[in-house]
Amino acid sequence: MILSTTDNIQGTAVAEYLGIVTAEVVYGTNALRDFFAGIRDIIGGRTASYERVFERGQQDALNELASRAERLGADAVVGIEIDTGTVNIDQTGSLLLITAIGTAVRLQALR
């Protein structure tokens, strides 16, 4: 499965557009991670624990996107965009949301 942010794949052409595919990954926040992120917010610096969560989440979203495209018979997903956000649950918590969207395509056979 080829995953690309571009609209075409070099060396081949799109034979068929199979439709838009989406994937959503949601992670709960963690009290300990939130505590250390809060300290980083005060003193400055990067929060490596959250960076790892987003990195893992983006990879999980891409894997899910590929899986959904394969079910449609796709060889590739083009025009991929990844977005991140939060969903507030109440005063004390939120969820991390990572979405991926692209177009599932079947490519022409390479000659």
pLDDT value at residue 54: 83
Mean pLDDT, residues 32-53: 58
- Rounded Cα gap, residues 3 and 43, in angstroms: 38
How does DSSP classify residue 66? H
- Rounded Cα gap, residues 93 and 31, in angstroms: 9
Residue 91 has pLDDT above 90, yes or no: no
Task: Give Cβ neighbours of residue 71 (< 8 Å, ≥ 6 apart).
Answer: none
Q: What does each C-alpha distance from 64 to 4, 16, 41, 75, 103 come to in angstroms?
A: 14, 21, 32, 14, 14
- Compare 84 and 34 and report the one with higher pLDDT: 84
CB 96 within 8 A of CB 47: no
In the chain the domains, ranked by start, together with CATH numbers, are 2-107 (3.30.110.70)
pLDDT above 70 as % of the chain: 77
C-alpha closest to that of 18 among 62, 65, 60 = 65
pLDDT value at residue 58: 93
